[in-house]
């Protein structure tokens, strides 16, 4: 099966022109300027579904996408003007945070690890406990969150209205200019177009085997057989968008509430949303609490059967993996972070 591939040149042409100059003046901390361009495109890359409902329901113009990007990098949306979305979702760190808990405004830190924003167009719910249903809702959340950006939405809207640059940019992007709804649309439209695909694994499953090392191929086999990983980490994003208790965060046999806090169902105790496995080499530390720092540690965690607690998922059991198996599994996970560029035979 052949999939259409968005050629990098087209992406650069679409996003590159006139994008960052004004913005750089407003943001003192550009955070790996332009690294993000590699990952942002109007259409999904090779290896991901080419038709995604959420994407089709949210067509964006180049002006809207550019506005969303500028907002994502701008500290104007935080109370003390020190924090941008990109401070925690760092483009040079796979749109995740290098800190287990990220610093927000006024010296506060987040309660959980900031996850990657890759392929969120495929998400069915947001946050580690899935408490948010739509991306439009989710992108406004960090602005008001006291641990993150701590800015009331009315204040955010009024700041944007006062800025000549933003007034014009909103006017160009949306007929009715700066509104709270347009702020959400712009941020969601941009976030929805941060992708990672086109990995050696995607080529391998399409029959183009040469890109995947022998070690990673063996690792893939373990992933799909005795590792049991595939039960929850299902393609294309290698996440089933469901909630499971793997024992992360368990102290003295007691799990954190996790999903139970949302559903009030005791069976959901200690369950968290399965994260994507694309981009892992870019995004340490891992897990909702950022408690594991290397992929070797993650594999070791699963090898010993997670962390015992009354609600541990039945698929989390001690694994019979040799040291070679464990190494190969890590090689497979690493392959999901590589992009084959340009793709061959396309």
Q: How far apart are CA 76 and CA 70, in angstroms?
A: 10
CA atoms of 233 and 152, how far apart (whole Å): 37
Residues 173-212 that bind ligand HEC (CB under 6 A): 187, 191
Task: Choose one: 33-41, 158-166, 204-212, 271-279; the region binding ligand HEC (CB under 6 A).
Answer: 271-279
Q: For residue 60, state whether it binds ligand HEC (rule: CB under 6 A).
A: no
What are 236's two structure tokens?
């294309």
* Residue 298 touching ligand HEC (CB under 6 A): yes
CA distance 271 to 279: 23
Minimum distance, C-beta of residue 277 to ligand HEC, in the bound complex (Å): 6
Rounded-to-integer distance, Cα 190 and Cα 198, Å = 20
Q: How far is CA 14 from the centre of its chain?
A: 22
Task: Supply the minimum distance, in Å, between the C-beta of residue 60 and ligand HEC.
Answer: 15
Give me the least distance between CB of 319 and ligand HEC, in Å please: 6
> Which residue, 66 or 244, is less far from ligand HEC as judged by CB?
244
Q: Considering Cα of 230, then 236, then 238, then 244, what sign does the dihedral take? A: negative
Cβ atoms within 10 Å, residue 125: 16
Query: Which window, 13-21, 37-45, 117-125, 192-200, contacts ligand HEC (CB under 6 A)?
Result: 117-125
| Phi/psi-derived region of residue 127, left when phi > 0, alpha when psi is between -120 and 50, beta in every other case | left
Which residue ranges make up the site for ligand HEC (CB under 6 A)? Answer: 77, 83, 85, 87-89, 102, 104, 110, 112, 114-115, 117, 120, 123, 126-128, 135, 138-139, 142-143, 148-149, 187, 191, 227-229, 231-233, 244, 246, 248-249, 272, 274-275, 277, 280, 283, 286-288, 298-299, 302, 313, 315-316, 329
């Amino acid at each position: 099966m052949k999939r259409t591939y968005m050629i990098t040149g087209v992406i650069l042409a679409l996003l590159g022109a006139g994008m960052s100059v004004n913005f750089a003046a407003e943001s003192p901390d550009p955070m790996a300027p332009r690294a993000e361009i590699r990952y942002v495109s109007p259409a999904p890359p090779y290896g991901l579904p080419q038709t995604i409902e959420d994407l089709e329901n949210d067509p964006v113009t180049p002006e809207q996408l550019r506005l969303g990007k500028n907002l994502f990098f701008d500290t104007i949306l935080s109370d003390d003007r020190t924090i941008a979305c990109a401070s925690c979702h760092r483009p040079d760190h796979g749109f995740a945070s290098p800190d287990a808990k990220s610093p927000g405004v006024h010296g506060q830190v987040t309660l959980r690890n900031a996850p990657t924003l890759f392929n969120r167009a495929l998400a069915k719910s947001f946050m580690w406990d899935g408490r948010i249903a739509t991306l439009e809702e989710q992108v406004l959340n960090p602005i008001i969150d006291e641990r993150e950006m701590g800015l009331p939405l009315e204040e955010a809207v009024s700041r944007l209205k006062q800025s000549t640059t933003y007034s014009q940019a909103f006017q160009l992007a949306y007929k009715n200019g700066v509104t709270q709804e347009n702020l959400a649309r712009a941020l969601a439209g941009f976030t929805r177009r941060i992708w990672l695909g086109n990995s050696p694994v995607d080529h391998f499953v399409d029959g183009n085997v040469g890109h995947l090392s022998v070690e990673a191929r063996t690792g893939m086999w373990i992933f799909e057989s005795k590792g049991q990983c595939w039960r929850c980490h299902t393609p294309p994003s290698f996440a089933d968008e469901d909630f499971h208790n793997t024992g992360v965060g368990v102290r003295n046999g007691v799990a954190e509430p996790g999903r139970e806090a949302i559903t009030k169902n005791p069976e959901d105790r200690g369950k968290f949303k399965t994260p994507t496995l694309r981009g892992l080499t870019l995004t340490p530390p891992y897990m909702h609490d950022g408690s594991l720092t290397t992929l070797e540690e993650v594999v070791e965690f699963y090898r010993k059967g997670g962390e015992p607690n009354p609600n541990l998922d039945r698929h989390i059991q001690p694994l019979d993996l040799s040291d070679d198996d464990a190494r190969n599994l890590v090689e497979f996970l690493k392959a999901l972070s590589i992009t084959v560029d340009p793709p061959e035979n396309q």
